[in-house]
Structure 1
Amino acid sequence: MMSQKRLFLLDAYALIFRGYYALIKNPRVNSKGQDTSAIMGFVNSLFDVIKRERPDHLAVAFDKEGSKDRLEIFPDYKANRDETPEAIRIAVPIIQDILKAMHIPIIEQAGVEADDLIGTIAKQAEKQGYKTYMVTPDKDYAQLVSDNIFMYRPARMGNGIEIWGIPEVQKRFEVERPEQVIDYLGMMGDAVDNIPGLPGVGDKTAKKFIAAYGSMEGLLENTDKLKGKMKEKVEANAELGLLSKKLATIMIDCDVTFSEDDYVLSEPDSKKVQEIFEELEFRRLKDQFIKIFSKEEDSVQNSGSSTSKKSTTQAGAGQFSLFGENIENGAETDTFSNRKTIANTNHFYQSIAPGMAMKLFVQNLLKQEHVCFDTETTGLDALTAELVGIAFSWEIGKGYYIPFPENKEDAQEFIEILRPFFESDTVVKIGQNLKYDIKVLAKYNVEVKGELFDTMLAHYLINPDMRHNMDVLSETYLNYTPISITELIGKKGKNQLSFRQVPLEKQTEYAVEDADITFQLKEHFAPELNAANTLSLFKDIEIPLLRVLADMEIEGINLDKAFLKSLSQELDNDITSLEQKIYQEAGEEFNIASPKQLGVILFEKMKLVDKPKKTKTGQYSTAEDVLSYLAKDHEIIRNILEFRGLSKLKSTYVDALPNQVNVVSERVHTDYMQTVAATGRLSSNNPNLQNIPIRTERGRQVRKAFIPRNDEYTLLAADYSQIELRIIAALSKEETMIQAFKNGEDIHASTAARVFNVPIEEVSREQRGNAKTVNFGIIYGVSAFGLSNQTSLTRSESKDLIDTYYKTYPKLRNYISEQVDFAREHGYVQTVLGRRRYLKDINSANAVVRGAAERNAVNAPIQGSAADIIKIAMINIHKKLKEGNYKTKMLLQVHDELVFDVYKPELDEIKTMIKTEMENAYQLEVPLDVDLGLGNNWLEAH
């Protein structure tokens, strides 16, 4: 008996939007700066259907110019919809090119929506004996479901599918027949499509009405049975209800014909598809395409089934079969059976028992060229966490786990057995966020030697604007959702388990999976680093810096807790004094920290402005930018801003810092993040030492709390002088500015002399200040409006000053234009070392969005080059400190400044070395200049 033929109809835009928004927080951007999220999302959905189902027939339906019929009867149909994102508009023609190359029919008709096309074809195919699957997340299609027509709903991030037949529709909508979904939608309305519905009728009421009256018409015929306001509303809006039902009805009589021969899933133009994927830089999808449409794939795939992870003892793994526990993860049987798995990857995950097994395992480790390892610990703080186990993988689908004993002496014995691996110079160590693992192992007196490959850092260079955690990378590049740690230990709170409490088989499954995935990501990212020309940046800057930062974080910095306690009391007094001033000016007491109460006082009672700005919720906006604009005219605003600043300073730093002192080292240990700022700058966390205010007196006082380790040491701060201006002068080849730096002139006074046409010695303080604002503002694309807000100049004076500035420095203006042009053509800009900043909005039709990208096109190479240069200096200084076996330690990096704990007998030698290394980190046409300062605290040194 022949099986029933199956037709799959894909709702293109529904899947495109779904793919785009699934990646909205971490968009997929290629080396040309092109946002390919929508294309990738759709192609993943398409491939998933083909891989799972091997359909006989398949087609894709697109909307074109909206629904002519619905707009004729209701001009506001879909009027509320936001404009289609530019990335999607650009994606659609490319998606259609892919479909054409794959010989997949495109169903499209001007003035007809995709759901109407799909509805018509599904009903026609049903009459011809087909079983039809409508591939869409859109619930409206439920009205079309029948014995042979189904909804095929992809779940989020590719985690399986839902198939809705008649029973599923009946349960979901509480209807007897699927066609009653039309009545449900008509009664409820649809805010997305701007279908009005019946006022006051929501989900529950619509289901109640359908249960009682069967349909919209049945309801309207029985309004005498309704009561009160509901009766009035339904009767008054009867026509609106019938109109809504008509708008919600998917048409099944469009001018389109199902042609069996045209919809056959046939042989694609493989070369053309691969060319498109190469252009888009879809390397993994290209590989997947080849696998799906190869004969080998055909022989192993079963119609309608999905791959499940299985444990198999493969060649080369059997030698460990007696050393520990094999982890079997059979299809749909274990705790994690609902997770989607890596296509066609069987796995062998095994725990290694202590004794001879571990020693033999290490011998095998040392024979490998590349090994991924991943530590499992009791917590997230590397300096206090203890090892629970270490996972290893060096082959896709295989890995091993060594559980560690809780006793510290026994754990150290395990480390000694593994020490030859970690300290081997010949084995490349792979990991995700290796800095953490290096810091954990340092507690056990182990130095991780040899070449490193950090997948988090690699991806940061490949796609800096995306998130870089392993789960996101796995889902994006391997189409695989790993086990969540919360599945094992629970969510945060008192009931959360320690990883030690997790059963060994689950520890093994989780830990080795991480190592396996990370190994696979390394295989994926290594060629991408080459393709983006960032391999040298990875190997020569980011990886060496990883070790430098680990040492700095382990070292930490001393904190004067007694000083912070006294400063906290002073701030309390200042804040109380400001409160009283604000109450006096307002004429009443209120909660100054409440935006709602503050807004009422400022804009209703005091009426400081005629038309105050409001938030989306209708409250008066008291945001920083709003108040800053009003500050120069109103003392109460100045006091409020100072109150906010002091309150934040007290809570964020003065009171918080003592609680962040490590109980063992009695020092503060910040974490430096290499993968947060897209420009290449480092950021710090726990505590964030880079955001300590420096412009205010009280803010500067916080730096006073950072002190040397003891009386034998002093703090030294080394700061690049005006490095960003020096870089822009060098990159733009602006001779006038270059010469000023070479002559050692005050660059702001030099600029002022030229733009105001006065001798340099006659430049006033105000003129120098305005020139300084323009000098730095140019990097950030300052406008006349922005300049007038930052200075005492009017807007017209600001415009004249900017125009004169560009006439004085014409090459600077040319450089800015060239950077924007380069970005428009290539989709990215780059630093002096080739670090790329992708600008997906550089050609946006939206002027505001495009303007922001244009400013980044100028700013990113300057900021990024400064970041690259200080990183080189840090690497070189760290190397010299180690080679010279100095007691002096590098402690902090804050933007363009480095802070050192200098052993006083080494001071003269260290000062010379630091200044030399920083000023010669990178050769520009403009000399780099470094200011050194010494002190008994950071403030004095700075």
Structure 2
Amino acid sequence: MKYLSDKFLIIDGSSLVHRAFYALPILTNREGVFTNAVYGFTNMILKIIHEEKPKYIAVAFDKGKITFRNETFKEYKGHRKATPPELKPQFPLVQKILEALNIAFFELDNYEADDIIGTFARLGEKDGLTNIIVSGDKDTLQLISEKTRVLLTKKGISQTEYIDLAKLKEMYELTPRQMADLKGLMGDQSDNIPGVPSVGEKTALKLLKQFGTIEGIYDNIDQIKGDKLKANLLENMDKAFLSKELAIIECCVPMAINIQECLYQKPNYKQLLSLFKELEFNSLVGKFLEEMEPDISESLTQRLSVKEFISNYNQKKSVSLILELCGDKTDPQFASAVMVQAGLAASFESSHEKEFIEFLQNHPQIDLIVHDFKDLYKYFKFQGIPVKRAQDIQIAAYLLNPARSSYGIEELALEYLNSALAEGSDPIYNAIEKAAALLELFIKLKEQLVENNLYDLYLNIELPLITILADMELAGVTVEKNVLEEMGRKLEQKLEQLTKDIFTLAGEEFNINSPKQLGTILFEKMDLPGGKKTKTGYSTNAEVLEQITHPIGEKLLEYRQLTKLKGTYIEGLKEIINERTGKIHTTFKQTITATGRLSSVEPNLQNIPIRLEEGRVLRKAFVPSKKGNVLIAADYSQIELRILAHLSRDENLMDAFKKGQDIHTRTAAEVFGVPMESVTSQMRRSAKAVNFGIVYGISDFGLSRDLGITRKEAKMYIEEYFKRYQGVHTYINDTIAKARENGYVTTLLNRRRYLPDIFSPNKMVRAFGERTAMNTPIQGSAADIIKIAMIKCHEFINEQGLPIEMLLQVHDELIFECPKTIYKEAAASIVKLMENAYELEVPLTVDAKYGLNWYDLKSIE
């Protein structure tokens, strides 16, 4: 059947929202707002609009549970469960999305969505439109006609089927009008429509094919074959007619409807993108960017020459800068730049580098706004440009939402300005647009930083840290290639021996690196217990290998660890030693972790596997860059437990640190009820696991696994811990309660982390959110404190003009290089600065060591 007239899309909003809710897993945004039904509904609406290209659209919703049908039958829909609490608040959000899409929606007291749909369908037919009803409810099939068909959602929201007159006849051999008769006979459990007991679809269809309608059946009741069926129909005649009456869709609801109200228009893009931002529907944003016209600011119509821009520069106003660099990260080269200030823009091409440098040198107090200052600062340093600080949009946005996966200018403009920076064919114009967005972004971001008490953290910690990290990256760390090569040879020999041992234990040679072959050897040939088959074969991950009691399990684990060590670290580090400097220059990232911890990438020098001796030995290759220099490693001692003592104000925990006692021995004495001098090494080990486990919300199952004890014993350890450290227990409970109330937790310096998982109805996900709530204030505060320490050390070194360089930050440890002649004085100053970085209720202590490489470090006497 061909439909040539304009299309009228009539959507059963209530049905689609329910289907989306149950089809998708529970989703929330960072503030814990449930969004899965909204997301699924929006996706489906957009897909249908794209495919059907309708002229008119209307969405109908149920207004409430009570309708005119309840007057006829009090128990109509009486068995329906209450709307789940995760779904109920999503209906208003769906309607907000429809408003932004400029799609009309309707609901009416005392009527169901089906009745509004039926009314629209008849109006559409009257106006000569082709109706497409979208619903998951088969009741709407009674509305099918020459001009109306139903797009039925079948499975979730991904599978649909068009039902027209021909298809309906093929499926049921009935007309649309007979669908109400079918339901009258069969009933409907979901709507609590009784029907005729014991009459199913097969019997109902047979009766309707013979007699046409329920009225026809009862007019010809004597022709019914089967005394039992006849008696059943006669006994339940009232139910049959009542059920049919309940099933019939009302096609003339008492509401003023003008079909022109449903004319489909372009969405309100800014409103829609604002909602997508709020609900974190990032994948939907791209669907609209191409449709949107770029936000061309009138202030950018004046594009000046470099000379004109410089002569019109106003030193009282901020300048935004987009600087394109090329070359090595340790030797940045100018490619081009764009500057924007108060409606004036200029593009500095590669031939304008001299003017660019001179302009910045002549204006050392320039108030710059950039997207990522660290790389720009390196270029400034190489060129002798005296700009020491700039407003960094990326860092500001990170503090407001540390859970984002990226902080591109386009994404931030979309989120905070509701502006789409579409890429045009003119790269200079694109850069000017971005630079102009930076000016507006900083105003918005600063407002929110101040509002959320994050501006001090931004201004006094994160911003000054940028140039420190840039200096550390430029300094690099010297790595001796020959030492790495020697380690590689030794590892190769060890791997060869391990390979022989594994083959001997297996009884044959095979590809150890092939999970498929390894699984066959372990769980078929050797018939070891613990084999778990997957679609691709047996699982041979570390967890599976750890459960194998046969000696081959331990050998395989060691083989994998050493293979990774050789490939990732020894070969990997050799390849990235800078030929010009002879050093490795890692990149420190400020915007990766949700806790505020710094990340080291390309390569990750924070993740050298030091649990293995072969991994620890890798540090021998890290040496001073100059002869006569030494490395100093200054490490915070148990900083997270000290922060826990400060936050919880637990008397026993604070007392131990104030007295300088070994915290694990003290905890063991408390938990096991023995004097500290009677604590055994095993007791201390158990107490250490509990101490650090408590910080990370460890369960009795996790502790039993870590210590190799029963869950009962592990539970006893945890219970005894909380009996002795009641302040910690209270702090944990209060922190979780506060996180649930606010939707976020904060660190000592007010760093914020949102916790949507804490609202999840899934117990495991919610438990993860609770553990995160417990740990983030502790781990995040440790991150804040070490950043303060870095700033203080950097300022001290610069102010004193000392020949000391800060090279690395690895978790709670700072690595410096300095002349051997002053290492004692340098270490003493560094320790003092680190210990006084932040005042806690308990003392911060720092252990400092020195040596000719990062491995062979000795205590400083």
Which letter maps to 1:393?
V
Q: How big is the shift at 1:838?
A: 1.0
Q: Is the 8 A contact 2:399 2:751 kept in 1?
A: yes
Q: Deviations over 1:273-331 (max 9, x none)?
A: xxxx9xx9979989xxxxxxxxxxxxxxxxxxxxxxxxxxxxxxxxxxxxxxxxxxxxx
Q: Which structure has the larger Rg?
A: 2
Q: What is the match of residue 723 of structure 2?
A: 807
Q: How big is the shift at 1:661?
A: 1.9
Which letter maps to 2:452?
A
Which letter maps to 2:406?
H
Q: Is the 8 A contact 2:26 2:760 kept in 1?
A: no
Pick from 330, 334, 347 the counterpart of residue 383 of structure 1: 330
Distance in 2, matches of 1:45 and 1:788, equals: 47
Q: How big is the shift at 1:929?
A: 0.3
Q: Is the 8 A contact 1:13 1:63 kept in 2?
A: no
SS state at 2:384 partner: coil
Which letter maps to 2:472?
M
Pick from 294, 305, 308 the counterpart of residue 360 of structure 1: 308
Q: Deviations over 1:225-282 (max 9, x none)?
A: xxxxxxxxxxxxxx9xx9xxxxxxxxx984465666367999xxxxxxxxxx9xx997
TM-score (norm 1): 0.69
Structure 1 residues 44 and 369: alpha-carbon distance in aligned structure 2, compared to 1, 3 A threshold: farther
SS state at 2:567 partner: helix
Distance in 2, matches of 1:477 and 1:555, equals: 36
Q: Is the 8 A contact 1:460 1:675 kept in 2?
A: yes
Q: Is the 8 A contact 1:819 1:857 kept in 2?
A: yes
Pick from 379, 387, 397 the counterpart of residue 459 of structure 1: 397
Pick from 409, 425, 447 the counterpart of residue 365 of structure 2: 425
Q: Deviations over 1:702-732 (max 9, x none)?
A: 1111111111311101100000011111111
Distance in 2, matches of 1:21 and 1:712, equals: 67
Q: Is the 8 A contact 1:752 1:768 kept in 2?
A: yes
Distance in 2, matches of 1:679 and 1:144, equals: 57
Q: How big is the shift at 1:776?
A: 0.5
After TM superposition, list the pairs within 5 Å mapping 1:702-713 onto structure 2: 702-713=618-629
Q: Is the 8 A contact 1:393 1:515 kept in 2?
A: yes
Matched, 1:647 2:563: yes
Pick from 517, 523, 527 the counterpart of residue 607 of structure 1: 527
Q: How big is the shift at 1:547?
A: 1.6
Q: Deviations over 1:873-897 (max 9, x none)?
A: 1111111112222221111011100
Structure 1 residues 346 and 911: alpha-carbon distance in aligned structure 2, compared to 1, 3 A threshold: same
Which letter maps to 2:124?
E
Distance in 1, matches of 2:594 and 2:25, equals: 17
Q: What is the match of residue 348 of structure 1?
A: 300
Q: Deviations over 1:362-390 (max 9, x none)?
A: 243343522221111336x5334422111
Pick from 612, 629, 647 the counterpart of residue 731 of structure 1: 647
After TM superposition, list the pairs within 5 Å mapping 1:9-28 onto structure 2: 11=13, 28=29
After TM superposition, list the pairs within 5 Å mapping 1:716-727 onto structure 2: 716-727=632-643
Q: What is the match of residue 91 of structure 1?
A: 90
Bigger drift between 368-377 and 673-682 goes to 368-377
SS state at 2:690 partner: helix
Q: Is the 8 A contact 1:459 1:468 kept in 2?
A: no
Q: What is the match of residue 687 of structure 1?
A: 603
Distance in 2, matches of 1:218 and 1:772, equals: 72
Distance in 1, matches of 2:157 and 2:736, equals: 39
Identity of aligned residues (%): 36
Q: How big is the shift at 1:578?
A: 1.4
Structure 1 residues 414 and 121: alpha-carbon distance in aligned structure 2, compared to 1, 3 A threshold: farther
Distance in 1, matches of 2:15 and 2:417, equals: 24
Q: What is the match of residue 578 of structure 1?
A: 498
Q: How big is the shift at 1:430?
A: 1.4
Q: Deviations over 1:90-132 (max 9, x none)?
A: 43355558989999754489998x8x77864552342353879
Distance in 1, matches of 2:377 and 2:18, equals: 42
Q: Is the 8 A contact 1:435 1:550 kept in 2?
A: yes
Which letter maps to 1:853?
G
Distance in 1, matches of 2:706 and 2:376, equals: 46
Matched, 1:261 2:256: yes
Structure 1 residues 346 and 42: alpha-carbon distance in aligned structure 2, compared to 1, 3 A threshold: farther
Distance in 1, matches of 2:568 and 2:488, equals: 11
Q: Structure 1 stretches of 5 or more lacking a match? A: 66-83, 150-177, 198-205, 222-238, 243-251, 267-276, 287-335, 406-410, 488-504
Distance in 2, matches of 1:14 and 1:567, equals: 62
Distance in 1, matches of 2:121 and 2:623, equals: 78
Bigger drift between 713-722 and 523-532 goes to 523-532
Structure 1 residues 373 and 259: alpha-carbon distance in aligned structure 2, compared to 1, 3 A threshold: farther
Matched, 1:903 2:819: yes
Structure 1 residues 712 and 533: alpha-carbon distance in aligned structure 2, compared to 1, 3 A threshold: same
Matched, 1:403 2:341: no
Structure 1 residues 771 and 63: alpha-carbon distance in aligned structure 2, compared to 1, 3 A threshold: farther
Q: What is the match of residue 223 of structure 2?
A: none
Distance in 2, matches of 1:11 and 1:218, equals: 27
Distance in 1, matches of 2:827 and 2:496, equals: 44
Which letter maps to 2:435?
A
Q: Is the 8 A contact 1:374 1:437 kept in 2?
A: no
Q: What is the match of residue 29 of structure 1?
A: 30
Structure 1 residues 583 and 713: alpha-carbon distance in aligned structure 2, compared to 1, 3 A threshold: same
Structure 1 residues 100 and 392: alpha-carbon distance in aligned structure 2, compared to 1, 3 A threshold: closer
SS state at 1:787 partner: helix
SS state at 1:758 partner: coil
Q: Is the 8 A contact 2:118 2:143 kept in 1?
A: no
Pick from 415, 418, 433 the counterpart of residue 356 of structure 2: 415
Q: Deviations over 1:383-422 (max 9, x none)?
A: 34422111223457x64321113xxxxx65233332247x
Distance in 1, matches of 2:386 and 2:459, equals: 19
Which letter maps to 2:356?
I
Pick from 523, 530, 543 the counterpart of residue 625 of structure 1: 543
Distance in 2, matches of 1:16 and 1:472, equals: 31
SS state at 1:933 partner: strand
Structure 1 residues 771 and 109: alpha-carbon distance in aligned structure 2, compared to 1, 3 A threshold: farther
Matched, 1:797 2:719: no
Distance in 1, matches of 2:338 and 2:373, equals: 13
Distance in 2, matches of 1:23 and 1:544, equals: 42
Matched, 1:439 2:438: no
Q: Deviations over 1:558-603 (max 9, x none)?
A: 1111100111111111122112212222222222222222222222
Distance in 2, matches of 1:60 and 1:219, equals: 27
Q: Is the 8 A contact 1:104 1:265 kept in 2?
A: no
After TM superposition, list the pairs within 5 Å mapping 1:584-595 onto structure 2: 584-595=504-515
Q: Is the 8 A contact 1:6 1:130 kept in 2?
A: no
Q: Structure 2 stretches of 5 or more lacking a match? A: 1-5, 66-82, 174-201, 206-246, 262-270, 280-287
Structure 1 residues 23 and 805: alpha-carbon distance in aligned structure 2, compared to 1, 3 A threshold: closer
After TM superposition, list the pairs within 5 Å mapping 1:532-611 onto structure 2: 532-609=452-529
Structure 1 residues 662 and 786: alpha-carbon distance in aligned structure 2, compared to 1, 3 A threshold: same
Structure 1 residues 359 and 40: alpha-carbon distance in aligned structure 2, compared to 1, 3 A threshold: farther
Q: Is the 8 A contact 2:320 2:341 kept in 1?
A: yes
Distance in 2, matches of 1:840 and 1:660, equals: 39
Q: How big is the shift at 1:914?
A: 0.8
Q: Is the 8 A contact 2:396 2:449 kept in 1?
A: yes
SS state at 1:348 partner: helix
Q: How big is the shift at 1:136?
A: 9.2
SS state at 1:940 partner: coil
Q: What is the match of residue 208 of structure 2?
A: none
Which letter maps to 1:401?
S
Distance in 2, matches of 1:671 and 1:137, equals: 53
SS state at 2:633 partner: strand
Structure 1 residues 674 and 17: alpha-carbon distance in aligned structure 2, compared to 1, 3 A threshold: farther
Which letter maps to 2:256?
D
Structure 1 residues 935 and 57: alpha-carbon distance in aligned structure 2, compared to 1, 3 A threshold: same
Q: Deviations over 1:498-524 (max 9, x none)?
A: xxxxxxx73302322322333333233
SS state at 2:538 partner: coil
Structure 1 residues 110 and 365: alpha-carbon distance in aligned structure 2, compared to 1, 3 A threshold: farther
Q: How big is the shift at 1:899?
A: 0.4
Structure 1 residues 135 and 361: alpha-carbon distance in aligned structure 2, compared to 1, 3 A threshold: farther
Matched, 1:516 2:439: no
